Amino acid sequence: MWESDGDWVTIDGKVKNRKQVRREVTLSQPTSLPADEDFTLSAFGIREPVGVVWDKPTSTYVWILLAAGACAILAFGFRYLSHRRQTAAPREGQK
């Protein structure tokens, strides 16, 4: 809490602006920090200077395609290992 009586004294010693001010401030720490995009000129509706280009985040479809590719590689790898194991094992009646 901050308090002030607000008395201003002029050069000749007279009291001017007789006011009492009381302010109460409560500070708290945010639970999550704001994104970096909130601190650009564009976030406030102002054009960016010429030559300033911000990196765009990777699109969702790119991540989906990468995940699908990784799953396909794993599927082919497991199929190869399964086929290899079946052909390497001796069958009954053969030595």
Give the tens place of pLDDT for each residue, 11-49.
777 766 666 667 788 888 888 988 888 888 888 988 888
- Cβ atoms of residues 28 and 34 within 8 Å: no
Record the tokens describing residue 28, joined without a space: 């708290």
47 domain residue, yes or no: no
16 domain residue, yes or no: no
Give the count of domains, the chain.
Answer: 1
Arithmetic mean of pLDDT, 54-82: 92
9 domain residue, yes or no: no
- Cβ atoms of residues 8 and 16 within 8 Å: yes
The pairs formed by 53-58 with CB atoms below 8 angstroms and a separation of 24 or more are none
2 domain residue, yes or no: no
Pairwise pLDDT comparison (87 vs 65), residue with the higher score = 65
Q: Which domain holds residue 75?
A: 57-88
In the predicted structure, residue 76 carries a pLDDT above the cut 70: yes
In the predicted structure, residue 54 carries a pLDDT above the cut 60: yes
81 domain residue, yes or no: yes
20 domain residue, yes or no: no
